[in-house]
Structure formats: structure tokens, C-alpha cells
Amino acid sequence: MSSALEGIATVAQLSGIDGLKLIGMIVKAASTAKMHKKNCRQFAQHLKLIGNLLEQLKLSELKKYPGTSEPLELFEDALRRAFILVNSCQDRSYLYLLAMGWNIVYQFRRAQNEIDRYLKIIPLITLVDNARVRERLEIIEKDQRVYTLDDEDMKVQQVIMKPEPSKDDTVVLKKTLSCSYPSMPISEAIRKENEKLQLELQHSQANLDVHHCEFIQHLLDVTQVVAATSLPEKSLPAKPIKVEHGYSDAESNKETCDESYRKNTDKQTTPRNTSSVSSKQDLLSSKGSHQYEEWHSDLLGCCSEPLLCIKTLLFPCGTFSKIATVATNKHISSAEACNELMAYTLILSCCCYTCCIRRKLRKQLSISGGFIDDFLSHLMCCCCALVQEHRELEIRGINGIQKMKTSPPLPQFMES
């Protein structure tokens, strides 16, 4: 079975292909993407603009000179990584791509920024005194695409990341898998997903990435639960199995369902699968195991939203009140926030107070970090820290006291 891990999987395997051909490959891969179709199309449209510019330049001539070959190689390496990203949206596991949704969105943003940055440092492009070239450079610079996760994908992602999917959740997952594999019966679609996820698990185990292994193991457990509810009546045990009847017998029911699924799909039992089943007990039955995430907005990226930055600088209480409301899960007005900040400022501990709120916010959003990181962030630039926290709430769609709309998984780079 070919996949992104088995086929064109590394930048080295794409060496020797020039920038124009790489752009053509990315555009073609984007047209056949099964997931993140909108992001792939937008990314391909942006690269078409770059391709139109490169057609006017003799790239082969640039590679002959050390001063131009190095930046051009960096540019082409960025394109190779971009191809692997777009190609993965077709070949990788559907559930994996859904669960990694926000991570992949940010990889698209990072890929466009990286390609544009390397494009600007290619000497010939910046030195060419040609009105048409300058015009196309301006068009590329202004072409700032918006990469995001669709609302429907957010809802399914939320279902996937539940520790214990309900019966209604499994119905949703079966429908999405059927749409992803329209020409296959649901049992075959689940088998395909399981095979792809096993490859992801092996890849993470080879890299000794424990957190990512747990994350993929959870997705494998989801396929097992969906498979158990998709079995025909004759393949089920004599006693009806209802996972939602009680928590106390959930573990034994899951094991029985897993055994029936393995028999139904004629899947070989290996030591790796045995360890997967045993680790499933720890992962799904434990309420305390959480997937820790990273900040989606950068601490020093406050300048990307100058209006919010200026507003926070002039009126920090307004921004801080929104952050504190989510962090403490109770409404805090701007006046109350101002009183708190003033009171702690009088005893020279305002920074300590705001970093404590940041710590609570991290716990609410399951973001990794420590108290020292929080303290240093607010000590070095309290305004930047507040802007980062406010942008994080905006990205996640959180406004005031409410249940979070989406919880992106732990960001993991899709290693090649």
C-alpha cells in the first residue's frame, strides 16, 4: 500500500526537481486532495502566481553561481516540503488528518510564509529592473491567503478527540468515513484507516515520540469502537453489547468488540497489536490523560495585529478582562480587572498576578508550559503576552464563559 510515508516521503527523494516542476506537482496534488481541499486549493493558487514569475527567469543559470544557487536551493527545499504537505492530504489517514486539523492549517500558513521569504532573497529577482517582474512580486506579496479549518471538520474533530465516543458519535464517524471512502463498504474503510494509522504509529515509535504515539493510539481506539458498532448481527456475540450501559463493564465489552472486529476483517494478531489493545485500556479509561497543545499564536507575533496591540497598550484592562473571564470561568468586567491590576501594582506584584491568570488559561486550554515560562512572558513584555492570549482565544473561537468550540490536538510536525 502506497502512502505519504512509503511513497515520496522525504525532501531528499525530491532532490533534482526544479522549482517550476515542483509547483506543477503541488498544483496537481492539490486538485486530488481528500482533506483540507480548500487550503490545498488556496495554497496552489498562490504558488501559481510564483510559477508565473519563475517562468520569466532562467533558474538553470542561477544555479551556476554560488551567490544565487544557495538561496535558490533553500527556496526549492521549501517547495519540496510543501509538496509533501499537500500530498499528505490525499494519502494519509482520514481520521489522522481530521484530528491534526489545526496543526496542518498552521503548516500551510508556515509553508506560504517560508516560500515567500526565500523568494525575496533570490538575488536576481530583487535586482531585475523589469516593470512586469516588479508587478508580479507585488501581487505575490499582497496575496495573503487565509488557511483555516471548516466548521464541519471542527465538529468531527471534536468527536474524534472525545475519550469515550458515544453511540451518536460513532454514527457521525461512520458517515464521515463513508463519505471519505465512497466506493468502499464501511468495514473496508475502517480496515484501510487502521492500516494507515498503524503506519503512523510505527513511524512515531521509530522516532521515540511518546506523545504522538498516544495520540495515534487514541485514533486506533476510535476505529475499533466504530468497527464494533458496524459489525453485522451474526458476527456479534450472543449477548448484546451496549457500551453505553455502564462504565464498570465497558472494558470487557470493548475487548469483546475488538476480538470480533479482528476476526471479521481477518487481521493478523501481532505483538504490536497486543500492546495496542493493552495501551487502549489506559488511554480511554483514564480521565486524567490529556493531550497537551502549544500556543497557536506566537508571543512575539503581536505586531501582526497592530490594532489589538495598540488597544492593549493603551487599555490593558479591556483585553485582560476577556482573558481572565475564560481563565477563571467567571465573568470579570473591565472595571474589576482594572481594580485588580491597580491593587497588585501597588504592591509591585502585577506581573505575578497576570502570569497566574496566564497559567489558569493554559490549564483551561490544555496548553503545555510552566510557571517560569508564564512569569518570564509577562515580565519581559506583558503587552505581548496579553495579545498572545487574546489571539489564542480568537483562534479557538472562545468568547466569554462557554464550552470550547474546538480543541485542536497536540501540534506535531508531519515528519518525512
Q: How does pLDDT run along the chain (416 residues), one tens digit per residue?
A: 333 333 445 666 777 788 888 999 999 999 988 888 899 999 999 999 988 888 777 666 666 766 667 778 888 889 999 999 999 888 888 888 888 888 888 999 999 988 988 887 775 555 555 666 777 778 888 888 888 888 888 888 888 888 777 778 778 888 878 777 877 888 888 888 888 888 888 888 888 888 888 888 888 888 888 888 765 544 444 444 444 433 334 344 444 444 444 444 444 434 444 444 444 444 334 333 445 577 877 777 777 777 888 888 888 888 888 888 888 888 888 888 888 888 877 776 777 878 888 888 888 777 888 878 888 888 778 888 888 888 888 777 776 655 444 444 444 545 44
- Residue type at position 183: S
| Number of neighbours of residue 316 by Cβ within 10 angstroms | 20
387 half-sphere exposure, CB direction, 13 A CA radius: 22
Do 277 and 257 meet the contact criterion of CB atoms below 8 Å apart?
no
Number of domains in the chain: 3
Residue where one domain finishes, among candidates 257, 285, 313: 285
Q: Chain centroid to CA 177: how far?
A: 19
For residue 161, what is its C-alpha cell?
478527540
Is residue 307 included in any domain, yes or no? Answer: yes
List for the chain the helix, strand, coil content (%; round to 5): 70, 0, 30
Residue where one domain finishes, among candidates 148, 181, 203: 148
Is residue 297 included in any domain, yes or no? Answer: no
Handedness of CA 399, 404, 405, 407 (dihedral sign): positive
Q: What is the distance between the alpha carbons of residues 162 and 159, in angstroms, rounded to a whole number? A: 5
Is residue 405 included in any domain, yes or no? Answer: no
| Number of neighbours of residue 41 by Cβ within 10 angstroms | 15
Is residue 186 included in any domain, yes or no? Answer: yes
Residue with cell 497536540: 410
Residue where one domain finishes, among candidates 285, 310, 343: 285
Residue with cell 453505553: 244
> Are residues 208 and 251 both part of a single domain?
yes
> Are residues 95 and 46 both part of a single domain?
yes
> Are residues 274 and 306 both part of a single domain?
no
> Are residues 25 and 142 both part of a single domain?
yes
pTM tops 0.75, yes or no:
no
| 314 phi and psi angles, rounded to 5 deg | -85, -35
Helices (H) and strands (E) in the chain, counts: 20, 0
From first CA to last CA, the distance across the chain in angstroms is: 17
- Give which of 196, 25, 208 is closest to 99, Cα–Cα: 196
> Are residues 112 and 191 both part of a single domain?
no
Do 20 and 28 meet the contact criterion of CB atoms below 8 Å apart?
no
> Are residues 280 and 167 both part of a single domain?
yes
Quote the pLDDT of residue 321: 86
Q: What is the length of the chain?
A: 416
Quote the pLDDT of residue 124: 58
Do 67 and 373 meet the contact criterion of CB atoms below 8 Å apart?
no
> Are residues 87 and 211 both part of a single domain?
no
- Give which of 160, 195, 369 is closest to 267, Cα–Cα: 195
Which range of residues forms the domain containing residue 366? 302-396
Q: What is the distance between the alpha carbons of residues 286 and 260, in angstroms, rounded to a whole number? A: 24
